[in-house]
Chains A and B, each alone.
Chain A
Amino acid sequence: MILNPAIIALAVSAFIITLMLAYASFFGLRIIRHWDITSGSELQLRLERSTYLISVILSNVLVFQLASLFLFIFTADRMHTLFVGAMCAAGTLKVNAFGYPVLAFKAANFLLAFVWLVINSADLRASDYPYTKIKYSLLLVLAPLVALESAMLGLYVSGLSPDVITSCCGTLFSEGKQGVGSGLASFDPHASLAVFIGLVCMACALGAYAYLKGRGHVAYSVVSLAVLVSGIVAMISCISPYVYELPTHHCPFCVLQAEYGYTGYVFYLTLLIGTGSGLGAGALGMLRPAESLSTVLPAVLRGLVAWSAVMFAANAGITLYLVGSSNLVM
């Protein structure tokens, strides 16, 4: 265990967020069981009031989840000096088996919270709250996942002891070794970049179609998930060597550092928000269309798809700029 201010901050906020979500789930469970919009009973009134609480909790959780994702990477990066062989966040996360899972859970929970808020905001705009039960079922999925994330954070932190030999990002993401990281790094850089840009173009085209025709949102969300995955693959196999101007350096975290102008934050933020909006559009498209929403829903969907496509396009623009302005020739 390392006693470090940032680790304490992460642990405390994870603890409070988990408690808040547990509290919200308790209300969620009651809503799922007793929700009846046609009833005017006292119970229904109380339930309707508690929906406000849950949306406020969730929007806070969403923001702090995103912030804590970056604080986590930031902290991991700062702590690399404590571990022999670790040269940046990649090495610190590998000190024990829980580092990368925590990161993956943080990102996944952010996306889930995003989708939840999208459904919530659509639901609140209809007079009969058509998605209430679905919303709270999804909450019951999200809450255990966040609890699991917090537990893993606890395990990761308590398993950290300085001076454990870990691999630095130079070996973890270098070609010709086993493991997920090096598997990603050994992809052909130009092919992975082409796939990524191709998927962004596809997302924009599908987005335009969905925007104009009001159909194909589910397909769009699938593509946006693919953009996220291919974006991360492209970052590891292609973009990062160009950014560092070093063909053997594949670290996806060093790009977050000040030396590279914090471009990593812009890259990952646009990617995550684009994917979140895309998934939100897909989720709304998948739900049974509610009559009370027939006037509002198309506008909401259009907004989500447009927002997502703009984020992806901006992301691709940044990527092409990073690759184009690099002095590296591969």
Chain B
Amino acid sequence: MFTGHRERNILEFTLSSLLRRRGKHLALVVIYTALVFLLASVMFFAGSIREEASIVLRSSPEIILQKMIAGRQDLVPMRYAEVAEKIRGVQRVSPRLWGYYYSPATKSNYTLMVPDNFSYGDGHIVIGNGIARVMSAAKGDRISLLSPEGDPLTFIIAEVMDSRSELISSDLMLVSEGDFRELFDMPEGYVTDLALSVKNEKELSTIARKLSELLPGTRPVLRDEILRTYDAVFNWRAGLMITLLGASVFAFAIFAWDRASGLSAEERREIGILKAVGWETSDIILMKFWEGAVISLSSFLMGMVFAYLHVYFTSGALFWPVLKGWSVLYPEFRLLPHVDLYSIFTLFFLTVVPYTLITIIPSWRTATMDPDEVMRA
């Protein structure tokens, strides 16, 4: 079909001519790289955070049962747990106590939870890394929280959770059941919600239906629903960012078009000479193809590397507020690198494909110029 020899010679010529006119191509490469960098950052970031959320949710209970009163969530009476336990397919029902505590001093919300077995006993508390940082507290220190009546309750910090799981535990406080009920003035015999574990995933929807039949006024929330919602939200956020960046992709396309069609007098002369010494139109097209490929490939790789550094080493400093959420206590955690073939493929379609297609017509115009016309001009 074609001889490798000819291809290699043309590639060699292209590379040397690119190097000769470094300055002219530099602007294009810089803008191209910046575009890939922006888009890749969004995608890496959203991909990682989605992955992280799904890892967290994988170990969450299959069904959460909430009680609703007038459309608002309410405390669940313990007898509901006995009803739920009798449904075939439900392995275990664990009542959960948890809630939020607003601290006026640090102007942030904490998540308070009672773990299944809290080994430290009443009067002790385990806090997350974020809280320790904000309060500048360490193990052994005392902190006090206010009950709804305004009475302070003092706790001894028994442990500060390590930073590996900071996305989940940053704003977390663990206390004993007695302390929790006292702090929030919560009546005995009631819990926040029930967590149901179900072995067989195929029974989930049947169990959810039975729950709402046996306990009308409750709302079973399936883990899959939560996962789906997270997925949709992160997809949507990344998509929104990309749509906003669409304007820059468009601007880049116009820039690339302009670059490819506006030839300097020197370049025109070069093509004229090439044609005069026997290069065919298809050779010039091939040369232009290699030129585009070299520019695309280097910008694509550089942009990806910069985006990788940006997202995983500076924790995506540029997009922090938009893609993550709006909690106050989340500032420091390093994302787990999550780059897959799919993101690279998508990025390729967002940048290299439009660039390549956009420059076809200008390079064809260049390639089909008449040598004598060019030389005379």
Residues of A within 8 A of B (CB): 2-10, 12-13, 16-17, 20, 23, 49, 52-53, 56-57, 60, 64, 67-68, 70-71, 74-75, 78-79, 81-84, 121, 162-163, 303
Contacts and interface: CB of A to CB of B under 8 A. Distances in A.
A162 B353 contact: no
A52 B361 CA distance: 10
Nearest to B253: A16
Given A16-B354, A60-B356, A3 B240 contact: yes
B360 A60 contact: yes
B183 to A, nearest CB: 37
A13 B350 CA distance: 8
Contacts of A70: 345
A4 B235 contact: yes
A162 B246 CA distance: 24
Nearest to B363: A56
Contacts of B235: 2-4, 79, 82
Nearest to B232: A162
Contact of B239 (A3, A53, A60, A162): A3
12 contacts: A4-B236, A5-B46, A5-B238, A5-B242, A8-B239, A9-B350, A13-B357, A49-B368, A70-B345, A71-B346, A81-B231, A163-B228
Contacts of A20: 357, 360
Contacts of A4: 235-236, 238-239
A24 to B, nearest CB: 10
A16 B353 contact: yes
Q: Which 8 residue pairs across A and B have the least CB separation, nearest first?
A: A3-B239, A9-B349, A53-B364, A49-B368, A6-B346, A9-B350, A4-B235, A81-B231
B281 A8 contact: no
Interface of B: 1, 39, 42-43, 46, 224, 227-228, 231-232, 235-236, 238-240, 242-243, 246, 249, 281-282, 285, 289, 342-343, 345-350, 353-354, 356-358, 360-361, 364, 367-368
Given A6-B342, A82-B228, A53 B360 contact: yes
A10 B228 contact: no
Chain A CB count within 10 A is highest, among B227, B235, B347, for B235
Nearest to A11: B349
Nearest to A303: B1
Contacts of B282: 52
Contacts of B342: 6, 74-75, 78
B303 to A, nearest CB: 15
Given A52-B367, A121-B1, A9 B357 contact: no
Contacts of A121: 1
Contacts of A74: 342, 345
Given A3-B240, A5-B43, A56-B360, A71 B345 contact: yes
A52 B286 CA distance: 11
A163 B231 CA distance: 12
A66 B239 CA distance: 24
